[in-house]
Amino acid sequence: MLVTQQPVFRNFWYPVVPLDHLSPTKPFAFELLQEAIVIWLDEAGQPAAAPDRCCHRSAALSLGTVKDGCITCAYHGWQFDREGTCQKVPQLQDKTMIPKTYRIPSYHCTERYGYVWVCLGEPLQPIPEIPEASDAGHRVIHEFYEPWNCAGLRVMENELDLAHPTFVHTTTFGSEEHPIPDSLAVEETDYGLKIRATLGVVNPELQQKNLQMDEGQTVRHLDMDWFMPFTCCLRIHYPNGLTHMVVNTMTPIQDGRSQMVQFCVRNDTEAQTAAADAIAFDRQVTLEDKTILETTDDDVPLNAKYEQHMMTDKPGLLIRRRIAALLKEHNETEQTRHCD
Ligand code: FES
Ligand SMILES: [Fe+2]
């Protein structure tokens, strides 16, 4: 399946940029599902999104500036508000003379968890709900915002695949003694999947410090949510009561390119674990995944017959089944470069 060939993916929310990357005067360019978009802050400081194309002579609006909450085209200075209405044409004396056809489309755009989320179509699901992110007993640590050269679906499957840590996470938490999880329970939900599992892991020195524990061996109790289509929330509970949650969205840029957006949520304090140390450990983990995932095909087959599977692929297979059902529901057929 090629994500840009399935229009239904336009109907989901994706985080496109951390809010604090935006300037009050400069717009921000992004590519979402192969579409050039522009993000800026309106008068109230709220993010707004539109196609990165002026309706006058098609210039990229992201080259312009932001004035009074409107995006101002760099070519002839037309100004558009967050609804796409043209509010100013410097070549016209009187604002009332601006024709109604001078307008650009606008996209759904809002802030959540410190990120700007955009939906190009009509949302089929709300933005994934992460209650801990707004809970006083937890802190949010922004970790990564970078493009990966792989399909988001591969990353979602990877996060729920408990056979890979032994082989991929050899310098972080993978345990040779635990090639499979001790338990794995999968439940379908309206938003995607809920998975509960137990996995034996090792803890290198930095992680022992981060976890405030001195054991080399431990067990992770995992409580994982997959939010259709490209967000995973992994709640990792450790025996000492610490919870480290990883929230990751692979925002689709193109078929083989996704913006990796990750933050973590923890129930400890900066004095107990420095945010920089938590990030350093997750950096190592994610780079181990990235090396492998960037070698995988961006055309992820939904039909099980095209790849081979094992017991620990159950969550991934359910993801493929749910995506296939989503396409069917929206009268789409799987577009692929895959051959029989
Ligand atoms: S192209 Fe944008 S104002 Fe002319
Ligand atoms: Fe991994």
**Domains in the chain: boundaries:** 9-119, 131-329
- The packing angle between helices 152-159 and 314-329, to 10°, is 140
The CATH topology of domain 131-329 is Naphthalene 1,2-dioxygenase Alpha Subunit; Chain A, domain 1 (3.90.380)
Q: Which atom of ligand 1 is nearest to the CA of 58?
A: 1
Residue 106 token pair: 């606008």
Ligand 1 pocket check for 78: Cβ under 6 Å: yes
Ligand 1 pocket check for 337: Cβ under 6 Å: no
Residues measured by CB to lie within 5 Å of ligand 2, the ion:
289
Q: Which residue has its alpha carbon closest to ligand 1 atom 3?
A: 76
Closest ligand to Cα 157: 2
Q: Could you read off the pLDDT of 73-121 as tens digits, one per residue?
A: 999 999 999 999 999 999 998 999 999 999 999 999 999 999 999 999 9
Closest ligand to Cα 166: 2
Ligand 1 pocket check for 57: Cβ under 6 Å: yes
Among positive and negative, which fits the CA dihedral 272, 141, 254, 30? negative
Closest ligand to Cα 248: 2
9-119 has CATH 2.60.40.10 classification: no
Q: Could you read off the pLDDT of 14-30 as tens digits, one per residue?
A: 999 999 999 999 999 99
Can you give the pLDDT at residue 230?
A: 98
Write the DSSP symbol of residue 107.
Answer: B
Residue 216, pLDDT > 70, answer no
| Dihedral, 146, 148, 154, 158 alpha carbons, nearest 10 | -60
Residue 36 token pair: 């050039």
| Burial class of residue 196, CB neighbours in 10 A (0-12, 13-18, 19+) | middle
Ligand 1 pocket check for 76: Cβ under 6 Å: yes
